[in-house]
Structure 1
Amino acid sequence: MTQISARTAVVTGGGSGIGMGLAKELARQGARVAVADIMADNAERVAAAIRAEGGEAIAVTCDVCDRTSIRAMKEAVDAAFGPVQLLFANAGATSFDPLVEMSDDDVDWILQVNLHGVMNTTRAFLPDMIAQKQGHVCATASMAGLLPGWIPIHAPYSAAKAGIIGLMMNLGLELAEHNVHTTSYCPGGVATGMKDNNARYRPARFGGPGEGRVEVTEASSVAHNHDFYTPEAIAPMVLEAVRQNRPFVFDHPDQRAHFRRTYSGIVEACYDAADEWHARHGTPEANPEGARLVHS
């Protein structure tokens, strides 16, 4: 199990939405919390609310697209609380624009903040976790990453979130011997205010910041028609999954049907097709010359 009480936690994107909910719940469960956000005022507001309730928290400004900013954030956290045991790589951004209509900056930003931001932040904190022989990285992915065929007009976002899942699952194997665990949190609908505030978080080098609202296409809206929970409601679910070292945590059990229809069923059908091919044409020769997969 992963202990939360009396541990030091970092939450990126902690100044609002899911990150805010996680930061406050971590403090309620006895963790020391570093609230990291690209919006300094948001981070300080959440940290102040935690301190007002008797918790320990600091606010740190951080742009997860910038490795230098991440290193500075880590230095500030280490100075305040010491080595980190819990990392919640949560900062992200969204888009519902057709891929061919997105600019290079649009695509780069979505991939950088959602996927590279998680990678950059994780790489910064892993050495200390490995040295301590304890730690947990929980990355906020999305049901759009687990089920990339679920919501249309969401391609770079789905690709980035699917990448997070692959990163966390593979990294979990790599880190097992060090007693460091990974979890992918796949929200299925959380009221974060991201669509209203998304453009404000966009760094200047990607064409921001701005004040525009994210417009959800009609095609995406139809697929996105489901209940939205509050960050406060889902945070205890996420922390329980972290405590139990689960590789995944979901918050909408009713979405199991979407998984079966848009992913599980398709994958099983592909395996059925492979079985049929082998039955009709025979199994190909294993390890032909030039494809040595096993070394003696």
Structure 2
Amino acid sequence: MDGFVEHRDRLLGVAYRVLGRVADAEDVVQEAWLRWAAADRAEVADPEAFLVRTTTRLAIDRLRRAQARREVYPGEWLPEPVLTGPADLAEHAVRAESVTMAMLVVLESLSPLERAVFVLRDVFDEPYGAIARALGKREPAVRQLAARARAHVREGRPRYEIDRATWREAADRFFLACATGSMDELLATLAPGVRLTGDGGGLAPSALRVVRGADRIARLLLGLVHGKGRTHFLTRLGLEETDIGYETVNANAGPAVVMVAAGRPIVFLQPTVAGGLVQEVFVITNPEKMAGLMSRESAPLRP
């Protein structure tokens, strides 16, 4: 592990932003460690550069394979949520924004090379020359990839609040309205053009398409939390009403609620805020995407 542990957080941060999956990112970092362990250290002038280069290449290869599967994914595909530490995020605003659900969804529109270049350059401030060596490209080509990636991100980036206090205050009102079951109070927290994106992966109940409109979304959320929708959801998973609990967490650089059953997370719910109102809601029920929420005692991903 000599020389590896000190860089692990950075490698995991790169891999997660490129892949959008916690388990995949951990697998990539593990493979990078195996290659580091087998490397002739006398030939490695810069251990960090070697590890970043190896991790990036492995992540790109895995993302290319994953994209083919995502084309036939049942319903909408969302990144896997991961716990983040608020203290760390306050010191790294750019890195914090890059790990939000909304930004990770935008990064899905990039090619694997564009995504890797954007993560390395715009998030982790790697020099163009180092990125070119990591990708086996000429520096002018890397600069072109970076320019294209930035243009796509600017076009797709949601104009949402990144102020933590504002986001937290609006999210708390939203969570409270969901918990109390008040339709009027919940509608008061939602923007008229609010969108809800769900991801069940065909393994758990979920909206198969993006849901639009405050009234429709409010009814869907209240049904999930309180009504027959919740009973149906739990029955599909083989769970009882008495098994259910709720926890507020900091995930993907913002406040979220996790529905927990029998000690394991079964629903991830996170709003995105602008102008004091919820503009977008992400709901993940796919059981294969809960690994990043399993250890709620600490934050496994640093920015």
TM range (shorter): under 0.3
Higher relative contact order (CA 8 A, sep 6+): 2
**TM-score w.r.t. structure 1 length?**
0.25
